[in-house]
DNA sequence: ACTCAAGGCCAG
DNA sequence: CTGGCCTTGAGT
C-alpha cells in the first residue's frame, strides 16, 4: 500500500524529488520576473526625474549564463508569458478615443489644449511645466496631502500635484529629450509601449476617473469605493485557487511522474497568476517594471498565503472555534487544529500524487509549514476581513518595501506613497458605516502583517508552495474550465 | 510643402 | 517660474 515506505533509504524519495524540482522552480520564478521586465521595458535608455542608476540594465540580463535546464524551461513558457503581456491591445480605439476626448481641453488643467505633448493633450503651460520639471530633474513636495485639485486657475499652487497629474494623464518623462534636439518626431517606441500598457487598464482607469474626477485624494490613483470595487473585481482569486497543477483527472489514474511534474509547475502558475493580477492594478503604469519585478519577487509568498487564507475564511466561514470533532469525517480545513490540517494535507497529497503518502512524511516535510499556516489562519479569521479589506491588504502587502531595497529613491518614495494610499483607503473602508459592526481596526490588521511575513519565510523555506492551496481547496472540487 | 510635437526665448 | 509664441526638423 505504501510505495514510499518500500524505499530502502531512510528519506522519502517523493519529497526529496519534489523539493529539488521546486527549488529549481524558485530560481525559475526569478527568471520569469526578470524576463517580464525585459519584455516590458523598451530597449532605449530611460531617464527619470531623479538621476537613474544604471540598474536599468536589468533588461540586459547581466548575470552569467543560466542553467541549461532552466533556460529551456523558461523558453518553453515564454510564449505563455507573452500572451500575459497584453498583446490583445486595441491601439486604434485607444488612440481615437484619446484624441477625440482630449482634442481641445488640457487633460491636466482643463485649459485650452494646443495638441499632444509628451503623450497627453495639454496646454502650453502644462507642456512647459512638464518639460522644465523633467529637464531640471525637479522633485516637488506637496504641502498638503497630495490631493490638490489642478485646474486652470490654481494649477500653479502646487507643483507636486500638478506634476503627478501630468504623469497620471499619460505624460511620459521619456518623451522629454535628453539631448534637447528640437523638431522631428519621437520614435513610436516611446509611446507604443505606454499605450499598450495603458490600454490594458484603460477601462479601469477611465471608469475610476469618471467617477472621482472632482474629489480625489491622490491624483494618479483615486481612492474611494470605485477603486476598491475594481480591485475586488480584478482579483480573480478563483484562478489562483484553481491551479491546474493541483487538479486531478478523474478518468485516468495518474502516474506519479505526471503528478510530480504538475506539482513542480505550480510555481509557474502562481507566477502567471500574480503577474496577471499585477497588470490589472490601477497603479501598474505608475511604477516602472523593475519595481514590479522587485516587489513581486519579494512578496509573492506573502501574497500566496494571504490569498489562500482569505479564500479559506471566505469559503468555510470560521465561526466554529471548536473544530476538534470534525476530524476525519469532514473535509474542511481547520482554523485551530494543525493536526486536522496535516491529516487533510496527507489525504489530498495522496490524492494528487495518486498514491498513499505516510503521515509521518507529510508531518516531517510540511509540519512546520502547516503549523504556521494554521496559526496564520486563526489570527486572520479573527480579523473578519471583508473582500474590500482583503484587496487593500493585498496591495499593501505587495507595496511593502524592505529597508534594504535596491530601487531608486524616487521609486521607493512612489511605492511608499502608494502603500500609504492603500492604508488610508483601507482605513476609510473600515470606518464605513453599514457593515455589521466592523470591530476590526486598522491597527489590528497592520499588526497581523508581520505574522504573514513570518509564515511566508516558512513557505519559502519549505518550497512546497502548493500546501496552502491544497489545504484550502479539495482537489476533487477544483473547477475544470478548459 | 505641410504637419505636429519637440525645444527655445523672454516678457511678465 | 510661467506660459504664449517662435523655431526645428523627421515624418507624411
Q: CATH number of the domain at A320, please.
A: 1.10.565.10
Residue A136 within any structural domain of the chain? yes
* Chain B bases closer than 7 angstroms to a protein Cβ: 4-9
Please tell me whether residues A349 and A257 are part of one structural domain.
yes
Q: Find the Å distance, CA of residue A163 to C1' of nucleotide B1.
A: 37
Please tell me whether residues A234 and A300 are part of one structural domain.
yes
User: Of the candidates A393, A400, A382, A377, which has an alpha carbon nearest to the alpha carbon of residue A430?
Assistant: A393
Please tell me whether residues A425 and A370 are part of one structural domain.
yes
Residue A23 within any structural domain of the chain? no
What's the pLDDT band for A482 if we cut at 50, 70, 90? very low
Q: Is the dihedral of CA A423, A424, A425, A430 positive or negative?
A: positive
What's the pLDDT band for A102 if we cut at 50, 70, 90? very low
Across all strands, nucleotide nearest A155 (CA–C1'):
C2
Please tell me whether residues A165 and A234 are part of one structural domain.
no
Rounded CA-CA distance A126/A132 in Å is 10
Q: Find the Å distance, CA of residue A181 to C1' of nucleotide C8.
A: 9
Closest residue to C4 (CA to C1') is A124
Please tell me whether residues A435 and A305 are part of one structural domain.
yes
Percent of chain A surpassing pLDDT 70:
60
Q: How many CB atoms lie within 10 A of CB A390?
A: 25
- Give residue A143's Cα distance to chain centre: 31
Please tell me whether residues A294 and A167 are part of one structural domain.
no
Residue A74 within any structural domain of the chain? no
pLDDT at A313 over 80: yes
Residue A90 within any structural domain of the chain? no
Residue A353 within any structural domain of the chain? yes
User: Which domain-ending residue is among A155, A180, A205?
Assistant: A180
Q: Within 55-74 of chain A, which residues have Cβ less than 7 Å from strand B?
A: none
* Chain C bases closer than 7 angstroms to a protein Cβ: 1-5, 7-11
pLDDT at A99 over 60: no
By DSSP bridging, strand A120-121 and strand A116-117 are antiparallel
What's the pLDDT band for A108 if we cut at 50, 70, 90? very high
Across all strands, nucleotide nearest A133 (CA–C1'):
C1
* Residue A395: per-residue pLDDT: 93
C-alpha R_g of chain A? 25
Tell me which residue range forms the domain holding A129: 115-180
pLDDT at A382 over 50: yes
**CATH number of the CATH domain containing A150:** 3.30.50.10
Say how many CA atoms lie within 13 Å of A24 toward its Cβ: 18
Q: Give the cell for residue A97.
A: 478615443
User: Which domain-ending residue is among A157, A180, A203?
Assistant: A180
- Least confident range from A88-92, A213-217, A357-361: namely A88-92
Residue A30 within any structural domain of the chain? no
Residue A275 within any structural domain of the chain? yes
pLDDT at A378 over 60: yes
What's the pLDDT band for A155 if we cut at 50, 70, 90? very high
What's the pLDDT band for A135 if we cut at 50, 70, 90? very high
Rounded CA-CA distance A218/A227 in Å is 12
Residues contacting nucleic strand C by the 7 Å CB criterion are A 111, 123-126, 128-129, 132, 136, 138, 155-156, 159, 181-185
How many domains in chain A? 2
Please tell me whether residues A293 and A383 are part of one structural domain.
yes
pLDDT in tens, A283-311: 887 788 888 888 988 899 999 999 999 98
Q: Find the Å distance, CA of residue A180 to C1' of nucleotide B6.
A: 8
Residue A92 within any structural domain of the chain? no
What is the rounded average pLDDT for all residues in chain A? Answer: 69
Section A185-201 average pLDDT: 64
Q: Find the Å distance, CA of residue A44 to C1' of nucleotide B2.
A: 30
What's the pLDDT band for A439 if we cut at 50, 70, 90? low
CB neighbour list of residue A160: distance below 8 Å, 6 or more residues apart:
A140, A141, A142, A146, A148
Is the CB of A114 less than 7 A from some atom of nucleic acid strand B? no
Q: Which residue has the higher pLDDT, A380 or A271?
A: A380
Q: Find the Å distance, CA of residue A49 to C1' of nucleotide B11.
A: 28
In this structure, are residues A241 and A223 in contact, taking their beta carbons and an 8 Å threshold? no
Across all strands, nucleotide nearest A191 (CA–C1'):
B5
Across all strands, nucleotide nearest A152 (CA–C1'):
C3
Rounded CA-CA distance A397/A281 in Å is 13
* Residue A475: per-residue pLDDT: 65
Q: Find the Å distance, CA of residue A118 to C1' of nucleotide C1.
A: 20
Residue in the block written with cell 470606518: A431
Please tell me whether residues A400 and A279 are part of one structural domain.
yes
Per-residue H/E/C for A170-218: CCCHHHCCCCCCCCCCCCHHHHHHHHHHHHHHHHHHHHHHHHHCCCCCC
* Residue A110: per-residue pLDDT: 95
Per-residue H/E/C for chain A: CCCHHHCCCCCCHHHHHHHHHHHHHHHHHHHHHHHHHHHHCCCCCCCCCCCCCHHHHHHHCCCCCCCHHHHHHHHHHHHHHHHHCCCCCCHHHHHHHHHHHCCCECCCCCCECCCEECCEECCHHHHHHHHHHHHCCCCCCCCCCCCCCCCCCCCCCCHHHHHHHHHHCCCCHHHCCCCCCCCCCCCHHHHHHHHHHHHHHHHHHHHHHHHHCCCCCCCCCCCCHHHHHHHHHHCCHHHHHCCHHHCCCCCCCCCHHHHHHHHHCHHHHHHHHHHHHHHHCCCHHHCCHHHHHHHHHHHHHHHHHHHHHHHHHHHHCCCCCCCCCCCCCCCCCCCCCHHHHHHHHHHHHHHHHCCCCCHHHHHHHHHHHHHHHHHHHHHHHHHCCCHHHHHHHHHHHHCCCCCCCCCCHHHHHHHHHHHHHHHHHHHHHHCCCCCCCCCCCHHHHHHHHHHHHHHHHHHHHHCCCCHHHHHHCCHHHCCCCC
Please tell me whether residues A176 and A250 are part of one structural domain.
no
Q: Find the Å distance, CA of residue A423 to C1' of nucleotide B3.
A: 47
Q: Within 161-220 of chain A, which residues have Cβ less than 7 Å from strand B?
A: 175-177, 180-186
Please tell me whether residues A445 and A325 are part of one structural domain.
yes
Q: Find the Å distance, CA of residue A45 to C1' of nucleotide C10.
A: 20
Greatest mean pLDDT among A160-169, A344-353, A459-468: A160-169
Q: Which residue has the higher pLDDT, A148 or A72?
A: A148
CB neighbour list of residue A213: distance below 8 Å, 6 or more residues apart:
none
Please tell me whether residues A293 and A419 are part of one structural domain.
yes
Q: Find the Å distance, CA of residue A108 to C1' of nucleotide B3.
A: 24
Q: How many CB atoms lie within 10 A of CB A277?
A: 22
Rounded CA-CA distance A83/A67 in Å is 25
Q: Within 248-307 of chain A, which residues have Cβ less than 7 Å from strand B?
A: none
What's the pLDDT band for A210 if we cut at 50, 70, 90? very low
Please tell me whether residues A269 and A164 are part of one structural domain.
no
- Least confident range from A197-211, A332-346, A446-460: namely A197-211
Across all strands, nucleotide nearest A124 (CA–C1'):
C3
Amino acid at each position: 500500500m505504501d510505495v514510499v515506505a518500500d524505499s530502502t533509504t531512510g528519506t522519502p524519495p517523493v519529497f526529496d524529488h519534489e523539493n529539488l524540482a521546486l527549488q529549481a522552480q524558485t530560481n525559475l520564478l526569478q527568471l520569469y520576473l526578470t524576463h517580464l521586465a525585459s519584455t516590458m521595458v523598451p530597449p532605449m535608455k530611460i531617464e527619470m526625474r531623479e538621476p537613474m542608476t544604471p540598474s536599468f540594465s536589468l533588461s540586459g540580463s547581466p548575470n552569467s549564463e543560466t542553467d541549461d535546464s532552466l533556460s529551456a524551461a523558461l523558453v518553453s513558457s515564454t510564449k505563455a508569458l507573452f500572451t500575459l503581456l497584453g498583446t490583445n491591445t486595441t491601439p486604434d480605439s485607444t488612440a481615437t478615443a484619446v484624441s477625440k476626448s482630449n482634442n481641445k481641453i488640457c487633460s491636466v488643467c482643463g485649459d485650452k489644449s494646443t495638441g499632444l505633448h509628451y503623450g497627453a493633450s495639454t496646454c502650453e503651460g502644462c507642456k512647459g511645466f512638464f518639460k522644465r520639471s523633467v529637464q531640471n530633474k525637479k522633485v516637488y513636495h506637496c504641502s498638503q496631502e497630495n490631493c490638490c485639485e489642478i485646474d486652470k486657475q490654481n494649477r500653479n499652487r502646487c507643483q507636486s500635484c500638478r506634476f503627478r497629474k501630468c504623469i497620471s494623464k499619460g505624460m511620459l518623462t521619456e518623451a522629454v529629450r535628453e539631448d534637447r534636439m528640437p523638431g522631428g518626431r519621437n520614435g513610436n517606441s516611446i509611446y507604443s509601449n505606454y499605450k499598450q500598457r495603458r490600454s490594458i487598464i484603460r477601462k479601469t482607469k477611465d471608469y475610476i476617473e469618471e467617477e472621482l474626477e472632482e474629489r480625489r485624494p491622490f491624483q494618479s490613483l483615486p481612492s474611494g469605493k470605485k477603486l476598491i470595487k475594481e480591485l475586488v473585481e480584478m482579483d480573480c482569486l478563483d484562478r489562483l485557487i484553481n491551479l491546474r497543477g493541483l487538479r486531478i483527472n478523474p478518468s485516468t489514474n495518474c502516474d506519479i511522474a505526471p503528478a510530480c511534474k504538475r506539482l513542480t509547475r505550480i510555481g509557474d502558475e502562481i507566477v502567471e497568476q500574480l503577474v496577471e493580477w499585477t497588470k490589472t492594478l490601477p497603479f501598474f503604469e505608475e511604477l516602472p517594471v523593475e519595481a514590479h519585478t522587485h516587489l513581486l519577487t519579494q512578496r509573492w509568498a506573502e501574497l500566496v498565503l494571504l490569498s489562500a487564507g482569505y479564500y479559506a475564511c471566505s469559503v468555510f466561514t470560521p465561526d466554529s472555534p471548536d473544530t476538534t470533532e470534525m476530524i476525519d469525517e469532514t473535509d474542511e480545513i481547520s482554523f485551530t487544529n494543525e493536526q486536522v490540517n496535516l491529516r487533510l494535507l496527507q489525504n489530498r497529497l495522496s490524492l494528487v500524487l495518486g498514491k498513499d503518502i505516510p503521515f509521518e512524511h507529510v508531518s516531517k516535510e510540511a509540519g512546520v509549514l502547516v503549523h504556521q499556516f494554521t496559526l496564520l489562519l486563526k489570527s486572520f479569521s479573527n480579523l473578519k476581513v471583508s473582500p474590500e479589506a482583503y484587496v487593500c491588504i493585498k496591495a499593501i502587502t505587495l507595496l511593502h518595501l524592505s529597508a534594504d531595497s535596491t530601487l531608486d529613491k524616487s521609486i521607493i518614495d512612489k511605492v511608499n506613497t502608494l502603500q500609504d494610499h492603500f492604508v488610508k483607503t483601507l482605513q476609510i473602508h473600515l470606518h464605513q458605516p453599514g457593515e455589521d459592526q466592523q470591530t476590526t481596526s486598522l491597527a489590528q490588521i497592520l499588526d497581523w502583517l508581520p505574522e504573514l511575513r513570518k509564515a511566508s519565510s516558512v513557505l519559502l523555506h519549505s518550497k512546497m508552495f502548493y500546501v496552502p492551496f491544497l489545504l484550502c481547496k479539495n482537489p476533487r472540487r477544483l473547477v475544470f474550465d478548459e
